[in-house]
Structure 1
Amino acid sequence: MATANEPSVQPVPDLPWWKGAVIYQIYPRSFMDSNGDGVGDLPGITQRLDHVAALGVDAIWISPFFTSPMKDFGYDVADYCDVDPLFGTLVDFDALVERAHALGLKVLIDQVYSHTSDEHPWFVESRQNRHNAKADWYVWADAKPDGSPPSNWQSVFGGPAWTWDARRGQYYMHNFLSGQPQINGHNPDVQDALLGVARFWLDRGVDGFRIDALNFMMHDPELRDNPAAPPSDKPRSRPFDFQLKQHNMSHPAIPEFIARIRALTDSYDAVFTVAEVGGDEAEAEMKAFTAGEDHLNSAYGFNFLYADRLTPGLVCSALAQWPADKDVGWPSWAFENHDAPRALSRWCAPEHRDAFARMKMVLLMCLRGNAIIYYGEELGLTQVDIPFEQLHDPEALANWPMTLSRDGARTPMPWEAGAACSGFGSAQPWLPVGAENASKAVDRQEHEDTSLLAFTRHAIALRNANPALHHGAVSGCSAYGTLLDLIREADGQRVRCLLNMGPEAISLSDASGKTLFAGNSATPDTLPPYGVLILET
């Protein structure tokens, strides 16, 4: 269990609500099934919002729930401005927003601007011929003289990033599935339409957006081939991994469209925007996307999401990219999400998971930036091994068995340990809960003072109560073996975070100051395995 003391300095109340916020990501298919069809839905989220609010978080981020054929489980949007019947209705969404706001929670939703479904009316019209009103809303190109695709670009999910369409007698581009045709982000009419989508949801009361795969939104109009990637010791399971992605994504004009997004969101009160940015040049793009006061508020990359190990050096390296300089944007951090394996399964041995999960949660609360918690992370959920015959993830199916299934991190939330389907719903869920995760259900941890759920609430409260942790600068970050020594400062408060990120105890000689938080039996003299000590100095 953690011990905590009150800080001597209180937070400054006039910061934007999102600066230093803790955000809880909900994958709607897997959070709560209210109607017994085996799939989570919007009314199910509304039903369980009390649990989220009790954590002490500031906002929820809901992954896509829009009309979709679900080839990529909602990231292939067929109607940006409606709810897929699988998840409910617009009325259900409005009720969710109303309940969240009543509980003091902001609501963020995904926006997918780099591609649509091939069933979207825009694409249905675009593919009819080369002369219709939306002919240039997607990326179309003629075949080479030998009939091969226009460039050597490869898709993330495997195979060429081009699919032939006989109606137009051209190839269309897709960075992901062939059922996810690439938006022509250079087209001003397309940009206007996407801004209209954002306005639709802002008018329904959302408080911000997480923008998916934003650096894929614009391509090189000259369709130049990507160069080969240099040799690597890492296994390559996809043709995509053999290239440097210089021309199919990351066009330098993307920040110009981002400025248009910011101009729109600034016309609404308290709106927050965060971009997902992955790829070879993620850090540079994250900074370009968040520079100054006319771009996005924040961005998050993959520093931790695909890391094989969590080390003090990795933490210091990530934080060093985001100094508290005037022209540098505000970062967001996640250890887990719907695309990445559960962190406890990546980063520690099973026998250390309980202590490691606590250390990891405190670390997330100590990082400068926003902290994003993935649903079930507060329970210590682990990656579920999904057999091939139960897989849904198109990437895993295409690259089996070399690609770890994303399904294993998307399994249903366990609410009641002894109930059918772990309280997720009344019908067999779309993915198995997993025996280990079922034992970690909310009802088992809810009233247990020593549970990870209780610990998570303490850790979030610690962050919210201390301005140095909530929004302070990093004035020092040092790695000594498995010891992380992180110093944060703001508003006259200086906080030192000492975390043992290894399985062996560490003796401390200079841990002086007022103890604000001690976890995993830490003391000013000793950090046990995965011990954490937060001091006000």
Structure 2
Amino acid sequence: MSSPTQSMLTADKDWWRGAVIYQIYPRSYQDSNGDGIGDLKGITARLHHIAELGADAIWISPFFASPMKDFGYDVSNYVDVDPMFGSLTDFDGLIAEAHRLGIRVMIDLVMSHSSDQHPWFVESRSSRVNPKSDWYVWSDPKPDGAPPNNWLSIFGGSAWQWDPTRMQYYMHNFLTSQPDMNLHNPEVQDALLAATRFWLERGVDGFRLDTINFYFHDKQLRDNPALAPERRNASTAPAVNPYNFQEHLYDKNRPENIAFLKRFRALLDEYPAIAAVGEVGDSQRGLEIVGEYTSGNDKMQMCYAFEFLAPEPLTPDVVKQTQINFAAAAPEGWACWAFSNHDVVRHISRWGAEVLDRDTYAKMMSALLLTQRGSVCIYQGEELGLTEAEIAFEDLQDPYGIQFWPEFKGRDGCRTPMVWDNHAAQAGFSTAAKTWLPIPVEHVLRSVNTQVGKEETVLEHYRRFLSFRRKHPAFAKGDIEFHAAGETQLAYTRSFGNETLLCLFNMSPEASTMALPAGEWVALEGHGFTSEMNGNHVELPAWGAYFARHV
């Protein structure tokens, strides 16, 4: 099933390399039926915003049938739309309109675990001898009744839940209502690949694979070793979560995953131009695993790790070392970078809490992201300069936040509804008296209608810079080379074909002077940043940037 314009879109098998992908959290993008929750028809109605922004593709977080214990990341039917979001017909309409606008569609696949209400798990837990008894990860208890090992859940507590029917434990890396599937079983792999084919036949252009390094577990169920305090990192789980106290050698990151990813890629390659990006959640080995999963041309086209989603401040050295480390770990691979998504504090708040001029900071950060080597994900609302929302405990929906409140407030603060019109009820998101998460007043003041057409706004900057980026292929597909600069300065060139582009960033709240590298450079225009030349030096304002072409 495909739209009339799909043939135009599929002409470039390499479309994903350097693509700008706009992430949509469907509960919060646009409500079309007045129930306070976004849906597929709402997304379709707002696709023109993404087309005008200049993104190449959208990634839609899960909209499959689900009891919504983890808001769609607990799937109860892989081949149907949850009624909350609409129908398969609505999805077909979304695909057709996106392709008409020249936008590719990627969808979120959650294959490491399902909902405990999925018929597969209902059957699996019914006995130890049914046809699907081995479709999930089951284990007998230790002689004293304790769980089989020390594995922990990201959402808190043991990764094992007792089931009285089977008198066994089942594994869950996330909520107890999200049992892990046993991908060691070829039948499970076949079923997941069949679900993947279902969506390929409906015309999707690619997938984002959730928790891609969690697909397999150690068959021997060996204990994870302790992790030394100095090696603990809070990018995979919040610092208050003891999940960070273990080195996760056996509950994820297993070598058996390579063979499955090759099967997955072989399926994608049956279709004209499909791409997949994998989420690698690991604080210690993230880039190493990305390298493994993107090596050669037979697994993932691209992956992203958590380096740019971490809570630690983004400094010039972090940017430089992340790119250098990626190139070393994945010399054949391709990255997909994001500063914000539906799981982390919005980066304007995460890194810029003390910044006085948030708009200028947001513009500089967007230009930095959009000139990195790799593909790019923009999270909805990022283009408006939205900050993290403060959500009262009584309004929380996220089980993760409820579990660890108040030390960790969960993910609701980055999931509040999109703001379209400051004159409309619920900022144009919904006609409902109450939306599933409240809409902050400070977000309403940054609605799309308040920014569109005004050159100085963050939204118009994103539109302008994406247009500027499209005119220079080196930004999308070029190599990257870093140059010497000051402690709060970042300098690198992007080279592709006969084009070499210089990118200078002043990542500080004070004006700064930066020297041009050797050679002759001609300043580029059309990006919206201003600067002054002083011989072979550039005077940059606070949070400023400069771009030039080598001649």
Shared fold per TM-score greater than 0.5: yes
CA distance in 2 between counterparts of 1:205 and 1:340 reads 30
Which of these residues, 48, 63, 74, is aligned with residue 50 of structure 1?
A: 48
1:338-363 Cα distance to aligned partner (Å, 9 max, x none)? 00100000112252211110001111
* Counterpart in the other structure of 1:8: none
* Deviation at residue 523 of structure 1 after TM alignment: 2.9
State how 1:51-450 maps to structure 2 within 5 Å.
Answer: 51-232=49-230, 236-279=239-282, 280-323=284-327, 328-348=332-352, 349-427=354-432, 428-450=434-456
Closer, same or farther: CA 536–354 of 1 in aligned 2, 3 Å: same
1:468 alignment partner, SS class: helix
Q: TM-score, structure 1 length as denominator? A: 0.95
CA distance in 2 between counterparts of 1:220 and 1:325 reads 24
* Counterpart in the other structure of 2:5: none
Residue 527 in structure 1 maps to residue 535 in structure 2: no
* Deviation at residue 255 of structure 1 after TM alignment: 1.0
CA contact (8 A) 2:13 2:272 kept: no
CA contact (8 A) 1:173 1:181 kept: yes
Paired amino acid for 2:240: S
* Counterpart in the other structure of 1:452: 458
CA distance in 2 between counterparts of 1:510 and 1:335 reads 27
1:151-187 Cα distance to aligned partner (Å, 9 max, x none)? 0111000000000001111000000000000010111
CA contact (8 A) 1:27 1:410 kept: yes
* Counterpart in the other structure of 2:522: 514
CA contact (8 A) 1:485 1:497 kept: yes
Q: Which runs of 5+ in 2 are unaligned?
A: 1-10
* Deviation at residue 14 of structure 1 after TM alignment: 6.2
1:229 alignment partner, SS class: coil
| Structure 1 stretch displaced more, 113-122 or 319-328 | 319-328
CA distance in 2 between counterparts of 1:429 and 1:288 reads 42
CA distance in 2 between counterparts of 1:199 and 1:169 reads 35
2:247 alignment partner, SS class: coil
CA distance in 1 between counterparts of 2:514 and 2:209 reads 43
Closer, same or farther: CA 353–326 of 1 in aligned 2, 3 Å: closer
CA distance in 2 between counterparts of 1:390 and 1:411 reads 11
Q: Which runs of 5+ in 1 are unaligned?
A: 1-12
* Deviation at residue 463 of structure 1 after TM alignment: 1.6
* Deviation at residue 324 of structure 1 after TM alignment: 9.5
CA distance in 1 between counterparts of 2:442 and 2:494 reads 36
2:152 alignment partner, SS class: coil
* Deviation at residue 211 of structure 1 after TM alignment: 0.2
CA contact (8 A) 2:505 2:544 kept: yes
CA contact (8 A) 2:59 2:208 kept: yes
* Deviation at residue 63 of structure 1 after TM alignment: 0.2
| Structure 1 stretch displaced more, 69-78 or 302-311 | 302-311
1:337-390 Cα distance to aligned partner (Å, 9 max, x none)? 000100000112252211110001111110011011000110001100001000
Closer, same or farther: CA 14–95 of 1 in aligned 2, 3 Å: closer
CA contact (8 A) 1:237 1:403 kept: yes
Paired amino acid for 1:305: L
Paired amino acid for 1:285: I
How many correspondences in the alignment? Answer: 525
| Larger RCO (CA under 8 A, 6+ residues apart) | 1
2:504 alignment partner, SS class: strand
* Counterpart in the other structure of 2:7: none
* Deviation at residue 477 of structure 1 after TM alignment: 4.6
Root mean square deviation of aligned Cα: 1.6
Residue 486 in structure 1 maps to residue 486 in structure 2: no
Paired amino acid for 1:510: L
1:442-462 Cα distance to aligned partner (Å, 9 max, x none)? 011112122111110111112
Paired amino acid for 2:152: Q
Paired amino acid for 2:470: N
Q: What is the percent sequence identity of the aligned residues?
A: 49
CA distance in 1 between counterparts of 2:328 and 2:227 reads 34
CA contact (8 A) 1:324 1:473 kept: no
Paired amino acid for 1:531: G
Q: TM-score, structure 2 length as denominator? A: 0.93
Closer, same or farther: CA 14–204 of 1 in aligned 2, 3 Å: closer
CA distance in 2 between counterparts of 1:321 and 1:460 reads 27
CA distance in 1 between counterparts of 2:365 and 2:78 reads 36
